[in-house]
Each structure stands twice: as structure tokens, then as C-alpha cells.
Amino acid sequence: MTELELQLKSIAYRRTILQIIKQARAGHTGGSLSCTDILNVLYNAVMNVSPETLADPDRDRYVQSKGHSVEALYTVLADRGFFPAADLATLYRYKSPFIGHPTRKVRGIEQNTGALGHGLSVAVGMALAGKQDGRAYRVYVLLGDGELAEGSSWEASMTAAHYCLDNLTVIVDRNRLQITGTTEEVTGLEPLAAKFEAFGYAVRSVDGNDIRALLDVFAAVPFAPGKPNLVLAHTVKGKGISFMENSVKWHHRVPTDNEYAAAMAELDAVQSVLER
Amino acid sequence: MELGHANLEEFASTILELARQDTSVLVMTSDSRGSARLTQFGEQLPNQLVEIGIAEQDLVGIAAGLASCGKKVFAVSPACFLTARGLEQIKNDVAYSDQPVKLIGISAGVSYGALGSTHHSLHDFAALRAIHNLTIMAPADNFETRQTIQAICGYPHPVYVRFGKAPLFHLHAPDTAFAIGKAIPIRNGRDLTFVACGETVSAAAAAAELLEKDGVSCRVFSMHTIKPLDQDALVEAAQQTGAIITVEEHSVCGGLGEACAAVLLQAGLHTPFKIVGIPDEYTVTGSQSEIFNHYGISPDGLTQTARQLLFTRTVG
């Protein structure tokens, strides 16, 4: 898939994310939009996993530790054919498996998440199993920056480095906002890259909303033999919709009719520029 | 009754045998291989022992990840830390996600004695019973421990097993039938039933012998599976013997006793009933056996409890 095709996919994904959140009248809008490009690149250009290979022990694995941004994940999995796109209309509905956090009841999802600070340990276990069995698969795990206050993430980081898990790629969606305010106001994280380096990661910082940059950084994995990989993905919460960007109130706000129309118009405009 | 060794020892030898036959069997420890008697395992099968360090949350989460990739994982850690520090990981990463991790809580209950309440696990049955998709077991002797570990190794869902480190009396013949969720009758009787689990079963069996000498005929069950509970055996015992005493190395809140009470009441049985366990107070200090004696988890204590309960039933 070309870079342009991926850029167009990101626009389509953002449309779907907003559409299903509006229809369900619930969802994590800002965080889903910040990680859209990361998921797009992983599932369309990086990871060796598809509906056909879901039971293959050699498939790549993805764990979404920031489980609340599940609308982005459902959108990408539907597009990749893991389940019919029509299923997205059941988001948040009674008896639907499409709840507000990932579960294995949805085809393509490897692990139930939602409580923060859990995904990295599980991903470490998957990567460790791959090393033990001599399998070539890679494990990708997406963390929110706010969840880094959970100490369990740092326990898991120590273990990842101790076992030299260079088949593990940790992506931090560094959008700098959490529900209360900026991460630095709530519980300061910086200097974040230095902290990860001190914990034994090979760290690369990247614009997490830039398709080309994401393609390049994932192509460079493993960054250093014997070290777990950490992609510090600098993103914008609410990315792609001007009035949602960098705004705390869009953490889990649902667009009104007018806001939805304005958001769609913005996406249309970006798409026509790209297609020119 | 003949004295065997600690359930810890039986676990260590059983898991070593299983792991030798199947390289997908992994043992995980949290700086606990010595206290879990797994040093030999680590020396003989170093590739099948995963050391995590003192990080129980990480231990359980990683266990879930390993299990998702086909490993038969036994996550071994002191019960007090495993089921409190790692509780959210047990709830979400293991039980909710249905990853078939085997959680092994060692030195459970008050096994750590005078080390104090930080090291006691008197909450684990209560906390874990409220979590869906988790079998909870407490084997009473070496035979039950071996049977338990063999039965759960390939079991495709999560299980929690807890035991202690004191040498235990053999309670069963080697050909005794064993199944997850099925109480094992140790003694038959007409007047009263002891429903006990884990390291308290031998005290219940000894109490039954003492009572027999006074003409009180007691049934004794090892209720090694706390969840799912063997409701049929319990209800039948209540109907046939007319009095139930539950015994456990756990808080009287939320453990085996309350589980049994709920079954009996909802079956419409208002059987004379007593829960023997650790009361809801700051636990008395002392060794495991001193704590047991203090709270009546002993042959004499249980004999006295039985007499009181039967007296109540007689005089109304």
C-alpha cells in the first residue's frame, strides 16, 4: 500500500470513528483519533496478521493497552476484514461484543484490556513465548501516556529489558493529554525518552501522525539487537479535526450534529487536497 | 494417620515430572523459587523456569501473555502477594480474558505465622470467589496436591490453587477417586458433617475420631474445590446428618463457610451450622499451629464446637 493510500485510509478511518461514536452516543473520541495513524500503519503495512492467519502461531500480535481508544481498533479491524463493517453499528448496544474496551469476543483482538497498566505485561509474555519457541513473530503494544503513571508498566519494562525482548515494540501514544488535563500537570512524565532508555529500551521518537515517519520507524525494528523497542509517538489528541485537537474536553465527548458535519467537512477537504 | 511432607514439596516434585514430559509447561516465580522448593526445578529445567522478580502484577500479566501463546503456565508466588497485589491482573488478564493460567498461591493462609498479617492470605477465597471464570482449590494433603496439579495442567481455563508449607498427614488411599469440583469423603457419619478444606482437614478428621469415641458419628469431607462447590455432596450431608461445621484457614468472611451457607439456605435447609475460620479481628500472633489452636481449628477445638452445635440442636 502506498503512502498516499495509507493517508486516505486514515481519513476514512477518522470518518468511521466519528460516525460510530456519534451513532452509539459514546466513545473515546480524542484518543481514538490520536492513534488512528499508528493502527493504520501497523495493520496495513507492518504486521503479519490477517483474518486468515489469526490462528497461526507465527502471526504478529497486537495488544492495545490503552483499551479505551477501542473505536479506532474496531474501525481498523473491520476494514481489514476481521468482521463485517456492519457490526460496528452495534457499538455499545445491549448484548453486543463491541463494548467500550477490547475483548476477545471480537475477532482479531488478542487480549481483553481496559484497566490501564496491563497490556505491556501481557505483551511481554507473548514476546517471551516467541523467544522461547524460536518463532519470528513480533509483538506490538500501544500504551497511552497517561497510563504510564501505573507502576505495572515499569515492572513490565524491567522484565522486557531483562529478557532482551527485541521482538517487542512498545508504542507510546504521546498525545500529552489525559482526562484531567495535560500529563505534565497531572503527574509529570518528562524526561520520558530518557526514562525509557534508562529502563533498557532502544528508543526512537517519531511524529505519530505522520504515515511516512511511522513506516520508517517500524521498518527499522529491531532498533538495537537484544533491546526492546520503544516508539515514542508524538501525536495530537483529536488529530484531524481542528476543534477537537489538543482539547481535553474531547477525551470522551460525542459530537453534536453540527460538530459532526463540520468534522466531516474538514476530512473531505483534506481528502480532496490529497487526491489532487 | 501417617505424616507426609509439605504440599509445597509435593507440588515441586509433581510439576517437575510434568515439565520433564512436556516442554510447554512453564513455572514462573517472583523471587520465590526457594520458598516454593523450586530450586531443583530451576537447575534441571532452566529453560522452563521464568523468574520475574518481586513484581506480582507483572508475574500474572506475563503469565497471561505466555498462556495465550500455548504455554502451560504455573505462576507461583506467596498467596498473600499473588492474590492481593496481582488481583486486578487475575481478574482482567487471566479470568476475564480466559487465559488458562494456573495461579499457585504458596505458604497460604497463616502458614507464615509470626511474620504477621502482611504475609497471611485470609482474603483470597473471598476475593477470588467473586471473580467469574476462576476455579479455586485448596488441597488437603500430598495426594490431593498431586492430583490437583495433574488435573489442572492441561485444563483450558484459569485455576487458583493454594497450599501451605507444613508437613501434612496422609488422608487418602492412593486409589481414591479425585475430580475437580467433587468433595472427597474421608469418613462417613450420621450426626454431623465437617466440611473442611486445605490444611484444616486433618484437624476435622481427628476431631471426628475423638467424637466417635463419645458416640457422635461424624461425616468428614475434604472440600478441595471451593469453587465450583460440590453442592450435591453438601446438601445431601445436611439432609442426612442434620448439622454442618465448615472449617477453613481463611477469614470467616467470604470463604468456604459462607459459600456453603448460601447453598444450604437457598436449598431451603436451615441446618444447624457453624463456620470455623479466622474471625474478623486482628489475627492473634504466633505460629500457624498456635493460631489454629487459638481459634479452635484443632481436634479439641472442633470437638468442642461440634458438641455445642449438637447441644443446640438437641435443646432447640
pLDDT at B311: 86
pTM of the entire predicted model? 0.97
pLDDT at B1: 77
Name beta bridge partners: A64: A142
Convert the pLDDT of each residue in B138-153 to its tens digit: 999 999 999 999 999 9
Q: How far apart are alpha carbons A135 and B172 in whole angstroms? A: 45
Q: Which domains does chain B have, with CATH numbers?
A: 3-169 (3.40.50.970), 184-315 (3.40.50.920)
May I ask the CATH class of domain A3-275? Answer: alpha beta
Quick one: which H or E segment has residue A90?
none
Convert the pLDDT of each residue in A124-140 to its tens digit: 999 999 999 999 999 99
Interface residue of B87, B88, B92 to substitute, partner A, most A CBs within 10 Å: B92
Within 8 A of A64 by CB-CB distance, chain B residues are: none
How far B87 CA lies from chain A's nearest CA (Å)? 12
Question: Would you kindly state where each structural domain of chain A is located, as residue ranges?
Answer: 3-275
Question: What strands lie across the sheet with B273-278, from one edge to the other?
Answer: B184-187, B218-222, B192-196, B244-251, B273-278
Give the CA distances from residue A143 to residues A150, A153, B64, B273, in Å, rounded to whole numbers and listed in that order.
Answer: 11, 9, 18, 51
Convert the pLDDT of each residue in B162-207 to its tens digit: 999 999 999 999 999 999 999 999 999 999 999 999 999 999 999 9
B193 closest CA partner among B203, B183, B179, B208: B208
Residues in contact with B34: Cβ distance below 8 Å, sequence separation at least 6, in sequence order: none
Average pLDDT over residues A8-18: 98
Convert the pLDDT of each residue in A92-128 to its tens digit: 999 999 999 999 999 999 999 999 999 999 999 999 9
How far A109 CA lies from chain B's nearest CA (Å)? 11
Interface residue of A54, A120, A147, A152 to substitute, partner B, most B CBs within 10 Å: A152
Beta strands, E only, chain A:
61-64, 139-144, 168-174, 177-178, 181-182, 202-207, 229-234
Give the CA distances from residue A26 to residues A23, A63, A73, in Å, rounded to whole numbers and listed in that order.
Answer: 8, 22, 15
Convert the pLDDT of each residue in A181-213 to its tens digit: 999 999 999 999 999 999 999 999 999 999 999
CB contact under 8 A, B62 and A130: no
Which residue in chain B has the smallest CA separation from A111?
B97
pLDDT at B315: 67
**CA-CA-CA-CA torsion sign (B13, B14, B20, B24):** negative
Convert the pLDDT of each residue in A61-93 to its tens digit: 999 999 999 999 999 999 999 999 999 999 999
